[in-house]
Amino acid sequence: MGFWIVLGVIAAIGLWLVALYNGLVAGRNQAQTAWSQIDVQLKRRHDLIPNLVQVVKDAMGYEQETLTKVIQARNNAVAATGNPAQAGPAEAALTQATRGLFALMENYPQLKANDNAMQLQEELTTTENKIAFARQFYNDSVNSYNVRRQSFPAVLAAASLGFGPIELFNMPETEREVPKVALR
């Protein structure tokens, strides 16, 4: 009788480990898939920016510093792709640079009339929205995985099974700032 109890306990522990392992694998895979969705949108954004710069370059001849900042920020963002800790600040800098470019474009009527410039600006804005949704899904997936891995009883075995924490794709403080509106 004692043999069957010991065997039952061992089987229960084995089933628990299998269920724990499979749950952690599913959570980690969901987070990786979510990061892939962000990566797709970031690549799209990185591909659109040189096209926009090319279209506006001639019209904005005196704004070379802004265009240079956009290209440099894009290159830094491309270099940081794949790592949420590095990509967050690089993408925030790129967002700031493109916002500056969009603001300057408002001063050039010929750019407002240029269909290519307006279409690229609209595509970038749409891509920014997709990135925001993908970032939210990624962070939700990572949070779910990290909570699962840190919860009892998973916390007892997760690290020994090779499941470490995953970093969130944090938004730097500069993106959290609310634009200030000045009344004249």
Q: Give the Å distances, CA to CA, from 167 to 34, 36, 124.
A: 13, 14, 26
Nearest to 24 by CA among 163, 166, 168, 160: 163
Considering the entire predicted model, what is its pTM?
0.76
Every domain of the chain and the residues it spans: 2-166
- ω before 153 within 30° of 0 (cis)? yes
Tokens of 153: 């009883």
Query: How do the pLDDT tens digits run along the chain, 184 residues long?
Result: 888 899 999 999 899 889 989 999 999 999 999 999 998 999 999 998 888 888 887 777 667 788 888 889 999 989 887 778 788 888 888 888 888 888 888 887 777 777 888 888 889 889 989 998 999 999 999 999 999 999 888 888 888 888 999 988 876 655 544 444 444 4
Task: Give the count of beta carbons closer than 10 Å to the beta carbon of residue 156.
Answer: 9
Q: Give the Å distances, CA to CA, from 25 to 30, 53, 146.
A: 8, 42, 12
What are φ and ψ of residue 165, in 5° steps? -70, 155
CATH annotation of 2-166:
1.20.1440.20
Could you report the per-residue pLDDT of 44-58, keeping only the tens digit for each?
999 988 888 888 877
Could you report the per-residue pLDDT of 107-120, keeping only the tens digit for each?
877 777 778 888 88
DSSP notation for 4-41: HHHHHHHHHHHHHHHHHHHHHHHHHHHHHHHHHHHHHH
